[in-house]
Structure 1
């Protein structure tokens, strides 16, 4: 899930390139089990090598958990920012024209928080936090 912040710049990095250069937990387990399955019974894996691979697996799992916790923390921060904007006047960019209005609602979707901003009878919906450029009290 992408996480926005007020005035944030969305990361345009290609995720396909990143995923091809890393190994995830399932890939590591498959590789490890295949190695155990096809090892030479007359010359099994050395205990030190086995323990080193288990340590790598533990490190991989801790890294995955840290990454998930960081993502959760960023999501909570974005949620707090969005709720804090209720009844505040904001300036929004990234639309056909710049728009100023009061945040009247916050909707939470899989893509993150989306604001509803009203200026009299003109109401704009689905505004992302990254589109907010100015917040007034």
Structure 2
């Protein structure tokens, strides 16, 4: 019995199989333990499957590292806005104000802004910022 080739990376593979790399290796070892001695797995096919699992692990590691890098970049961008005057979208209109605080909800940076009318707007995503003024 041979394992089917695996395609996809990271979360897509985890979602499809619900398994991590160690679990997939365990499946291969179980396959080897219970294979029919009269019909062993072809060596080329076995090595090919191991290479696919190795690529899967490397892709997942790279995906995790990129996710961490993006989170750090978002945090840096958000903190660089402190004290700056910005234009942002709120309630279908563009408003402007000064960034007073940065917070993180669910890992995503949001800012608190004091508008020119002394109104405090909290929870503005940095994606809603239209312009940063000097």
Give 2:61's aligned residue.
Answer: 65
Unaligned segments of structure 2, at least 5 residues: 1-10
Alpha-carbon distance in structure 2 between the residues aligned to 1:23 and 1:80 = 35
Change (3 A) 1:34 1:85: same
Computing the radius of gyration from Cα coordinates, the structure with the larger value is 2
The alpha-carbon deviation at position 25 of structure 1 amounts to 5.2
Please give the secondary structure, in 2, of the residue aligned with 1:86.
coil
In structure 1, stretches of 5+ residues that fail to align are 1-17
Look up the SS of the partner of 2:93 in the other structure.
Answer: coil
Question: For 1:24 and 1:91, how far apart are their aligned partners in 2?
Answer: 43
Q: CA deviation at 1:95?
A: 2.6
Output aligned runs, 1:118-133, within 5 Å: 118-119=114-115, 120-133=117-130
Please say if 1:56 is aligned against 2:65: no
| Structure 1 pair 56–24 and aligned structure 2 pair: CA distance change class (3 A) | farther
Q: Which string of whole-angstrom CA distances, capped at 9 and with x for unpartnered residues, describes residues 68-103 of structure 1?
A: 111111111111100000000010014342210000
Q: Residue in 2 aligned with 1:40?
A: 36
* Matching of residue 26 in structure 1 with residue 23 in structure 2: no
More relative contact order in 1 or in 2 (CA 8 Å, sep 6+)? 1
Give the equivalent residue in structure 1 for 2:74: 78
Dislocated runs of 4+, deviation >6 Å? none
